[in-house]
Amino acid sequence: MARYSLANYTLAITLPSELATILGLTGSESLVVGGEGSYLDTFAVELDNDMFSTKGDATGSWVHDKNLSRVGKAEISLNQLSDRVAKFKKIVNIYYQSGTDYDGVNLSLVDNQGNEVANCVDCYFIRIPRQEFGQESGNQTWSLTCGQITFSD
């Protein structure tokens, strides 16, 4: 029997060391999202390009074209009450306002047995999402553009 729980997955966001110091992350350069009690709603990763495409011609022949691009997007949706929201805002503001060109962050999604599901390299938050305040708390989706995404077996 198969069982699933979102609480069985964690996402480590590894920051460049200079950025981690600015954020006051001492002893660790990673922010962790996910696991039990983490306010995580969803985490999604996708490639921007098809890995294979096929072209046919009038003679009935075809060619399969292989695309080696691994660029894509990652999305983290979490409740607006998560303390990670403030950290994400601060990260976006540092990247945007700083005169320093910091390296991007790396993402690693792992299950509770330590198996890596996806690895994203050189990622940048696209923008601060809409900040909405209503009668009840809501979720926010934070999007990142990624230089290379690898899905594990």
pLDDT in tens, 39-68: 999 999 999 999 999 999 999 999 999 999
Instruction: Specify the pTM.
Output: 0.90
For residue 95, the surrounding DSSP H or E stretch is helix 83-97
- CA geometry: angle 42, 43, 49, nearest 5 deg: 130
pLDDT beyond 80 at 26: no
Looking at the chain, the whole-number percentage of residues with pLDDT higher than 90 is 80
